[in-house]
């Protein structure tokens, strides 16, 4: 009862002080809404209309008829995808390349952060940290340019070294068996330091008192690392892991497009690169979109599963 009166009097007051019929939140915040106009337009035009555009995966797209006007063909594209043996190869490559990154590159940055944390010399630690960020600022194109030139059979740095030790020169980039290795190693080189930032941040927020207590209890450094440091950054690791798993099938194609060639498609061709070649270069829009939709669905399922598992095991989740 009191509440109702209070509400009413507030409404009255608003009416009196503003002297118009506009609700108070519009009166107060119209400038904010005006500011939002452009960003909202951006999200609708560049994000949500393309999302609607994925409908062409179920249609026989023709540019003349547009997304809505094109003829429905139902699941024909998806049946075609599933019956194509090459699709399973793409799926395998996509998952394997990303799985290897998860297996090697992901722990590497955690380990790097932990080692930096244990570093005794402050100055040296600073230098190592700063230097490790450097590759993040170098473009993928340049990184791939260096890779292709270092791995060349004549005059390439790596092959020169192999030859120096009496080995046989290897044409690395044309042999499918080396592709994933090259990819993962260059990935570590590019992202080790940058990915470590977030763990370093988590490490610096650990209260020094925890370590003091541990010292008093007689813990040595390894024990402190296992029982104090690691539990304190476990939730950060879980979050990063969930995010990484969500991108398990979508990352890395920019680099692959630059590095692969016909002879390495066997291990290097992934869903996104195939979408680019088949969907855009040969203008098979509907089919390409269908494969990409497949990829989006897989990554959504993966991130939801990872989030659910993370929630169950360590009570950490994205939302």
Residues of this chain, 258-277, that bind other proteins according to CB under 8 A: 258, 272, 275-276
Q: Name the one range near other proteins by CB under 8 A: 7-15, 74-82, 98-106, 187-195.
A: 187-195
x/- letters, 132..161, toward other proteins (CB under 8 A): xxxx-xxxxxx-xxx-xxx----x-x--x-
**162 touches other proteins (CB under 8 A):** no
Q: Which of the residues 72 through 111 are near other proteins (CB under 8 A)? A: none
**181 touches other proteins (CB under 8 A):** no
Task: Provide, rounded to whole angstroms, the least separation between the CB of residue 65 and other proteins.
Answer: 12
Q: Indicate which single residue of 78, 100, 211, 227 sits in contact with other proteins (rule: CB under 8 A).
A: 211
**213 touches other proteins (CB under 8 A):** no
x/- letters, 290..319, toward other proteins (CB under 8 A): --xx-xx---x--x----------------
Q: Name the one range near other proteins by CB under 8 A: 6-14, 52-60, 88-96, 176-184.
A: 52-60
**131 touches other proteins (CB under 8 A):** yes
Q: Indicate which single residue of 14, 87, 95, 125 sits in contact with other proteins (rule: CB under 8 A).
A: 125
- Residue 93's nearest CA partner among 260, 258, 225, 223 is 260
- Residue 93's nearest CA partner among 224, 276, 266, 209 is 266
**10 touches other proteins (CB under 8 A):** no
**51 touches other proteins (CB under 8 A):** yes
Task: Provide, rounded to whole angstroms, the least separation between the CB of residue 310 and other proteins.
Answer: 13
Paired with 71 in beta bridges are 60
- What secondary structure does DSSP assign to the chain, as a single string? -HHHHHHHHHHHHHHHHH-SSS-HHHHHHHHHHHHHHHHHHHIIIIIIHHHHHGGGGGEE--TTTHHHHSEE-TTHHHHHHHT-HHHHHHHHHHHHHHHHIIIIIHHHHHHHHHHHHH-S-HHHHHHHHHHHHGGGGS-HHHHHHHHHHHT-TTT-HHHHHHHHTT-----GGG-HHHHHHHHHHHHHHHHHHHHHHHHHHHHHTS-HHHHHHHHHTT--HHHHIIIIIHHHHHHHHHHHHHHHHHTTTTS-HHHHHHH--GGGHHHH--HHHHIIIIIIIS--HHHHHHHHHHHHHHHHHHHHHHHHHHHHHHS----
Nearer to other proteins, 125 or 175 (CB): 125
**116 touches other proteins (CB under 8 A):** yes
Q: Indicate which single residue of 102, 189, 206, 266 sits in contact with other proteins (rule: CB under 8 A).
A: 189
Q: Which of the residues 223 through 262 are near other proteins (CB under 8 A)? A: 236, 246, 254, 257-258
**33 touches other proteins (CB under 8 A):** yes
């Amino acid at each position: 009862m009191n509440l109702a009166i209070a509400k009413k009097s507030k409404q009255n007051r608003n009416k009196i002080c503003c002297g118009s019929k506009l609700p108070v939140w519009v009166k107060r915040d119209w400038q904010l809404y005006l500011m939002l106009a452009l960003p909202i337009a951006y999200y609708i035009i560049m994000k949500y209309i393309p999302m609607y555009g994925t409908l062409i995966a179920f249609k026989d797209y023709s540019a003349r008829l547009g997304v809505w006007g094109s003829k429905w063909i139902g699941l024909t594209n998806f049946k075609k995808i599933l019956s194509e043996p090459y699709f399973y190869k793409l799926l395998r490559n996509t998952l394997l390349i990303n799985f290897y990154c998860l297996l090697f590159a992901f722990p590497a940055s955690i380990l790097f952060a932990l080692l930096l944390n244990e570093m005794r010399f402050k100055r040296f630690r600073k230098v190592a940290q700063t230097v490790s960020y450097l590759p993040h600022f170098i473009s993928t194109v340049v990184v791939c340019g260096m890779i292709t030139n270092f791995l060349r059979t004549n005059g390439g740095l790596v092959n020169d070294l192999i030859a120096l030790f009496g080995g046989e020169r290897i044409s690395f980039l044309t042999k499918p068996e080396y592709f994933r290795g090259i990819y993962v190693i260059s990935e570590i080189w590019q992202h080790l330091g940058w990915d470590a930032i977030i763990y370093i941040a988590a490490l610096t927020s650990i209260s020094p008192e925890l370590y003091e207590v541990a010292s008093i209890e007689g813990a040595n450094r390894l024990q402190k690392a296992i029982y104090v440091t690691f539990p304190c950054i476990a939730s950060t690791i879980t979050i990063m892991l969930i995010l990484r798993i969500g991108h398990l099938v979508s990352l890395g194609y920019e680099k692959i497009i630059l590095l692969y060639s016909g002879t390495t498609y066997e291990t290097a061709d992934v869903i996104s690169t195939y979408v680019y070649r088949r969907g855009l270069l040969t203008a098979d829009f509907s089919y390409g979109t269908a494969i990409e939709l497949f990829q989006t669905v897989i990554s959504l399922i993966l991130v939801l599963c990872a989030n659910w598992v993370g929630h169950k095991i360590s009570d950490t989740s994205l939302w």
